[in-house]
């Protein structure tokens, strides 16, 4: 199959994730308003926006933790809201989430943190689980940390371990919630390069929520801007950087005056 045929086949497939006219209210306060987004296989879609704009909420809708007030959230063509409990669990088994705080269990070793989802969700034997854990730790350069406790790790190391844990179930979709928050610029670049390398090696689709411009432009194959509950711009990184949308321009330039200040 040549490259054109492969690209056509991928375009004919349903998006990995699609949000159609999604609205979400909290206590009658609108958070998302007629939001539309399409994420195709193998893309690294970065969602940008102000703090409190609803970026992390969007990830929870995809996981099915939250349900939209209106509209539909689709994973591989299936409406998550209409899925049975079994179907939703099967869908979640093909997704993984890397939390902003890393969310490692403090009472368990690094090895056991990674082994836990394999023990609970698969029928693998202990030796198979051990091999998988070692393989994923090696992929993120943390192969010597299995016996350590989370408190013994630096912030950057915890991020790496959290990514390794996300990989143990071989997910087709990985959701990253502010993966470089709290890291210095060098460690941020290391995590960004790790995300790029691992998603390319595993062919996973990824959605990365961030407000950090350097990370966004380094990692993204596409960028979407969330503002006042809607996606107001979605394009390739170079198109986003050259956008004439006043909200995007103000966000990129970091100006205090403009529609973000006046409209927030």
109: Cα within 13 Å, side-chain hemisphere: 13
Residue range 193-213, pLDDT digits in tens: 999 999 999 999 999 999 889
pLDDT level of residue 7 (50, 70, 90 thresholds): low
pLDDT level of residue 262 (50, 70, 90 thresholds): low
The answer to whether 18 and 76 have CB atoms below 8 angstroms apart is no
Two tokens, residue 32: 């998302």
In the chain, the DSSP E strands lie at 17-26, 29-39, 44-48, 70-75, 78-79, 95-98, 173-177, 205-209, 222-227, 230-235
Q: What is the pLDDT of residue 52?
A: 82
CA distance 195 to 50: 22
DSSP state of 150: G
CA distance 173 to 166: 10
CA distance 179 to 188: 8
Q: What is the pLDDT of residue 43?
A: 97
- Report the 10 Å Cβ neighbour count for 251: 23
| β-strand pairing of 17-26 with 29-39 | antiparallel
pLDDT level of residue 23 (50, 70, 90 thresholds): very high
Residue 73's region, left for phi above 0, alpha for psi from -120 to 50, else beta, is beta
Tell me what the mean pLDDT of segment 84-99 comes to.
90
The answer to whether 231 and 37 have CB atoms below 8 angstroms apart is yes
Domain architecture of the chain: domains with CATH: 14-94+172-264 (3.40.50.300), 100-170 (no CATH)
pLDDT level of residue 11 (50, 70, 90 thresholds): low
Q: What is the pLDDT of residue 205?
A: 97
Dihedral of alpha carbons 180, 184, 185, 186, sign: negative
In 40-142, the DSSP E strands lie at 44-48, 70-75, 78-79, 95-98
Q: What is the pLDDT of residue 5?
A: 46
């Amino acid at each position: 199959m040549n490259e054109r045929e492969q690209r056509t086949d991928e375009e004919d497939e349903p998006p990995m994730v699609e949000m159609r006219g999604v609205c979400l209210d909290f206590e009658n306060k609108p958070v998302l308003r007629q939001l539309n987004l399409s994420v195709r296989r193998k893309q690294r879609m970065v969602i940008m926006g102000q703090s409190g704009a609803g970026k992390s909420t969007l990830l929870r809708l995809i996981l099915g933790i939250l349900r939209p007030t209106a509209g539909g959230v689709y994973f591989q063509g299936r409406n998550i809201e209409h899925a049975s409990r079994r179907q939703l669990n099967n869908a979640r088994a093909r997704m993984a989430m890397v939390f902003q705080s890393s969310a490692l269990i403090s009472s368990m070793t690094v090895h056991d943190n990674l082994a836990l989802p394999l023990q609970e969700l698969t029928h693998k034997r202990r030796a198979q689980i051990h091999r998988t854990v070692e393989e994923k730790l090696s992929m993120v350069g943390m192969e010597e940390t299995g016996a350590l406790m989370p408190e013994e790790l630096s912030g950057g190391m915890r991020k790496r371990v959290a990514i390794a844990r996300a990989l143990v179930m071989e997910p087709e979709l990985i959701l990253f919630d502010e993966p470089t928050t709290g890291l210095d610029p060098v460690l941020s670049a290391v995590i960004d390069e790790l995300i790029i390398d691992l998603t390319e090696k595993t062919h996973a689709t990824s959605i990365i929520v961030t407000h950090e411009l350097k990370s966004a432009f380094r990692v993204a194959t596409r960028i979407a801007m969330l503002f006042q509950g809607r996606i107001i711009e979605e394009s390739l990184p170079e198109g986003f950087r050259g956008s004439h949308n006043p909200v995007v321009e103000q966000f990129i330039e970091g100006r205090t005056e403009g529609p973000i200040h006046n409209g927030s």
